[in-house]
Structures are given as structure tokens and as C-alpha cells.
Chain A
């Protein structure tokens, strides 16, 4: 599992590559820390290369959203595959994020 963070203008994008399962969550939580410190920036969670997300992964997404909301920032989840969309749906979090 890899997380790549890039910044362009006023937008921070995190690209998740691989499987965000319980084992990968500790490192990923560390990798996304720059997003939690970003004030007044739009945050994009690019899931084009994310194959799977577990509850631990969901918790990381929720933490990012909570911190972003505290700073008045927007979080967009982009390019999720059908399985991940299903996870968001089944857990009721689908309407919490802007999914594109």
C-alpha cells in the first residue's frame, strides 16, 4: 500500500495505491498527516488505484474529513471502484463525502 501526496495551487491530492486494509492502515494514517495539517485547502482522495478499503481505512477517511471540516475545507473522494462504493454505501457514509 502506498500513499502519494501532491499539491497543486490550493488543492492537496492523496493518491492511494493498493489495498487499504488493517495492516496498511497504521502506515497510511502516518502518510496522510500532511492532509490533516492543511488549512483552507481542498482535499482530493484519489482512489483510482485503491483496490480495497477496510473499516480501518474508512476511519482514516473520516479523520481526514473531520479535520478538513474543522478548517472549513472540502474533501472529494474521486474514482472509487464498485467494491469501495459498496463499502461506502453499506456503512451509510456515502452521503458524508462528495464522491466524484
Chain B
């Protein structure tokens, strides 16, 4: 029964994503919304990303230093390990898990409120493809802006590690910088950027689905918002495992 229900929900999700993909009714209106969504979902998230990244970068550096007490390990290992953690997981997966809380709930509650106040019905009655009009700019906006957010996250996190070295002296800044530059594998950056595209699609499409299909009132919109975040997080982790296996092995 649960399996049947899950398949039904998945089918509805696919149908909604499919109906949202298509030629917009009015390109000018689409581009306006597309730019607006990039700003609202992406640029507005930068302060959060900066705060989270700088602290996580600092924490990674401190924790790695504490756990690398073996004198046989070179000192630049702190910088190197911090970089690898940030490039491989934090800047893409953990960042997207955090952003799904902010962006996912925003999308689900916005579209859900439009649904329960009949604004989506109004669009449909006018002859507008409401799924295409509302969801596609969000999905494309997120997919476009997410790699830039990941790059900002990478830079800020490493800067956070550097700052903690300068402020606390747990490692010399020069050694930390040397570690960051050692054994650099460019593919890891591409790997993070490619993963972020999938995660951006997951966050925007799943949150839109939960908002678009809500029925009832404000309580249901709240539930849909929570479900959107939970399901986005689960799917991000599932996709992370699959993509890591496919792209790094």
C-alpha cells in the first residue's frame, strides 16, 4: 500500500515536472520571472551562505588539526583535508541541505498559498499554463545560480579556515595555504558544481510539487512546506550517493 502510494506521488511529481517544461506563453514575462527567481532564491541566500561557510570552514580546520596529532603526518595535511572536505561534500551537499530549508520552504509556501487562495486556478482559467509559469522559472533560476553559490561557498569556507589559523595560531597561515594548494585535483571542483545542478533541480522541483498539489488551508500549506524540505533533503542524500559513485569511482 505504501509502495503504491509512493509510486502514485512519484507519478504525479513526474507529470507536474513534465507539464512545467515547455515553451513559455510569453518569453518576456518568463525572463522577468527567471531573473527575479535567481535574485530571490539565489542572491538573497548569499548572506546565509557566507555566515555558514565561514564557520564551517573554521570548524573543519580546528577539528582536523585536533585529530591530526600524529607527528608523522605533514603539517600541511590540515589545509589539504579541509580543502577536500569542502570541495567534495560541504560546498555542494551540505550547502544544498541547508539551502533546501530556506529555499524549499519558501517555494512550497509561496506556491501552496497561491493554490489555496485560488490564484493558480485564476491562472488556469485565464489560459496560462500555471505549472510552466510558476515552476519553470524557479527550476531554471535555481539551476543557473546554484554553481555560483557553490563557488562562493568554497572560497568563503577556505577563507574561514585561513582566518582561524591567523586568529588562533593552530596552524601557520602559510602552511594552511600550502596545504590548500597541495595535490589539487581540478575534477573535484567540477564534481561539486555538477552535483549542485542536480541538487538545485531536486530542491526547486520537489518544493514546487508539494506547494502546487496542496489542498486545504494554511495548516496544509505549513505541512506541505515541511514535507518539501524533508523530501528534498532525503532526495539530495540519495542523489549524492549515486552521483559520487558514478563520478568518483
Q: Do A and B come from one complex?
A: no
